[in-house]
Chains A and B, each alone.
Chain A
Amino acid sequence: MLRAGCQLFNPSTVAAAKTGSNNFALEFVRWRRKPRWLPVAKSKVFRVPERKKQSEEERTELMRLHNNYKTQLRSVRQYLREEVVRQQETSTADHIVFTPEQEEAEFQRCLEVNAAWNAQIAKEREVRLAKEREEKVAYIQERIEAGKLRAEEQRERADQRIRHEIEQSKTFITRDNLDAAIETALANPVDHNYALDLEGNMLRGRTTQSLTS
């Protein structure tokens, strides 16, 4: 698979044995290296690469160089950051800048415009509130009138009832005419019983006095 060779035109037993292919397969091999998608070779799976030994001098020298590099880079980065901050503070690139006087004048203009608007609304509100007040007064007046009328009617009804009662009271049985009433009742016993036949005729007693319907 990885071998170069054109076996169709130049058959070689060695090549065929190495690639395991027959004479009819055309194979083009461009570079002799394992492609990235193949796994680690079986013979190298458990190989642990040995770490390179560093002498003490070499290590300290490398550490010194590394520290120098880090320090220098950090200082450059800090300088650039400060420069950006300085730039942002002083530049007016991202907003329109007014002088304090202009700003104040603009604010005063807004205040005036708003004051005019508020005055206009206040006027309208006065009108509205006056109207509402009037409506409320009218409503309350109407309610009061209705209440008076209702009370009048009630009193009228009560008076009528009283008059009716007074009229009725002439026939009331009182302590004075109680005996007379008892006498009358005993003298005229009233029988409330009656019988009905199948035709619905009401049959009252013959001997007693019964109520006539």
Chain B
Amino acid sequence: MPFMKGREPIRRTLKYLNEGKLVLKDNVRIFSVCYNTYGNHHSGARDLVFWNIPQIQFRNPDVQVVTLKNIAPSPFVRCFFEDGRDMIIDIDSKNRDEIVEHLINVVGKTRKQLVAEARLAESKDNPANFGYGCERHCICEIPGQMSCPGTVPLPEDVRGKFKFAAK
């Protein structure tokens, strides 16, 4: 899909997709939205499907996200859990923001949980790494490692000037 084509192409930008607030709990397996294409009390559900489904799918790549169209008189969200249970969330005549807020409260991870997970994921990075964005910018900061050639000249036996010089 070309970048600036189609309805509201902002929905496909990485920034927008990453902005999604709803990260589902680990035990959610299927997230389904049922809505109609007509009717005022479905407008919130329609907006949810249009604006938030891309974000939800992006933030939850391991969850099956389904939309069901024109099969029931009332709009609802149905989540299926790992252990076979499910939860039906009525979203009749609610707007998009209210729905998302409630979903975060009920089937989403809390903010605290998300922050903790982000921190753990960061610290999982190898402490032996060095360079940009790491704890140290150069291996020379470690005692016992060779110092930077900009600070102290390298030993002669690793410098080409001396290695390849005529005897």
Contact = CB atoms under 8 A, between A and B. Distances in A.
Nearest to B94: A121
Contacts of A31: 164-166
Contacts of A30: 165-166
Contacts of A94: 117, 120-121, 124
A151 B91 CA distance: 45
Nearest to B120: A94
Contact of A93 (B87, B105, B124, B166): B124
B90 A95 contact: no
B90 A121 contact: yes
Interface residues of A, number: 22
B113 interface: yes
Interface residues of B, number: 27
Looking at chain A's contact residues, is the secondary structure mostly helix, strand, loop, or mixed? Answer: helix
A121 B92 contact: yes
A160 interface: no
A188 interface: no
A135 interface: no
Contacts, number: 56
Nearest to A118: B90
A130 interface: no
Contact of A96 (B41, B116, B166): B116
A44 B105 CA distance: 77
A96 B90 contact: no
B26 interface: yes
B136 interface: no
A159 interface: no
A180 B102 CA distance: 96
A188 B41 CA distance: 80
Given A31-B166, A125-B93, A96 B124 contact: no
Nearest to B88: A118
B67 to A, nearest CB: 20
5 A-B pairs with least C-beta separation? A121-B90, A118-B90, A110-B106, A31-B164, A114-B106
26 contacts: A4-B166, A30-B165, A31-B165, A32-B166, A93-B120, A94-B117, A94-B120, A94-B121, A94-B124, A95-B120, A96-B113, A96-B116, A96-B117, A107-B85, A110-B107, A111-B87, A113-B105, A114-B89, A114-B106, A117-B90, A117-B102, A117-B106, A118-B90, A125-B92, A125-B93, A128-B41
